[in-house]
Amino acid sequence: MNLGDILTAQQIVPELQATDRWAAIDELIGVLVTAGKISIADREAVTAVVKKREQSMSTGIGFGIGIPHASTDLIPEVVAAFGRSKNGVSFDSLDNQPVHLVTLFLVPQGQFQKHLHTLAGIAKVLRKEEFLKALEDAPSADAIMQVVRHYSAQR
């Protein structure tokens, strides 16, 4: 499972309004609610699960990348939302640098292998310098989606 499989242009925010990791998580979960990937009734519970996971250790992995994620029984399949911030989001990252790319993903409870494979796939593509440059230059959610599909398809 790669990022191109679980994202749509509707699940991409070309310029996050958030300035900290908690607001970024709220904003991206809102995107998933709007896209119909999370029910509005489950929004608070899903947000709480992601924030609880984030409190245990920041998912700001360094290099301007944050990957907040969690498992929950409130979704039937892996879902994701992606946000870009040109100004950067304060994320309590491992390298103490602001995060410019946030990929939030959720995996159904009990699917540990899928969780690990999804996290590894996202981290792998986000380490490609040409991918990061293409994301930075993409002018819209549709353009970001094209970049994601192109680079996610490469093995």
Which of the residues are catalytic? 69
User: Of all residues in the chain, what percent are helix, strand and coil, respectively (each to 5)?
Assistant: 50, 20, 30
Q: Round to whole Å and give the CA distance between 65 and 45.
A: 25
| Other Cβ atoms closer than 10 A to 128 | 13
Number of other residues whose CB lies within 10 A of the CB of residue 34? 13
Q: Tokens for 7?
A: 């994202």
